[in-house]
Amino acid sequence: MSKLTSKIVTNDLLLDTKLFLFDIDYTLCDPSDDPEDNIINGRPKRTTLQLLKYAVSKDYKIGILTARRDEDNCYEQLSVFLKPYCKLDRNLVFAINSHHPNYKEYFGVQKDYDAKAAVIKKLAKKFEKILFIDDLHKNIYAARNLKISTVYSFLVTEYRNAYTYV
């Protein structure tokens, strides 16, 4: 019998069971003054990174959902920034304001929070459980308004509550 620790089979689909999505600015780090490298040189949010490390220890995949542009640059910088904590999967980095073919369906979306909610809704079909942490109320409300029972969203200031769901 094969051991499936981080995957389940549902309706003949193999799903990853757990994803923890983080915003970047003011969630994982406070940006530096230099917009070119503000992830790498930003001030890490110690409490959020402890939560990330704990989630990794509980077999969560780590994803990034940001309103930034230039998804490839975000991925490259985050790979360096998060290297002490986890190996970041390129397919789980979403920069919704990138003019990337993956986001053409969001080009007409006026609000970042609607685009973030749309990404979460799609991911909910692939993951049994999603935890989402962000610094903006409107992004959290948009995720909660999806009313998907397997999606839990928290303000960065509520990070302690997230431990209950990990």
CATH class of residue range 45-165: alpha beta
How far apart CA 46 and CA 110 sit, in angstroms, is: 33
Show me where the domains of the chain are located.
45-165
Taking the model in full, what pTM does it have?
A: 0.83
> Which pLDDT score, from 0 to 100, does residue 68 have?
85
User: Each residue of 16-69: pLDDT tens digit?
Assistant: 689 999 998 888 888 766 655 667 777 888 899 999 999 999 999 999 999 888
CB within 8 Å of 151: residues ≥ 6 apart? 120, 124, 130, 132, 143
pLDDT at 161 over 50: yes
How far apart CA 66 and CA 74 sit, in angstroms, is: 9
User: Each residue of 104-160: pLDDT tens digit?
Assistant: 565 556 688 888 998 999 999 999 999 999 999 999 999 999 999 999 999 999 888
pLDDT category at 12 given cuts 50, 70, 90 is very low
Q: At what angle do helices 112-123 and 137-144 cross, to 10 degrees?
A: 40
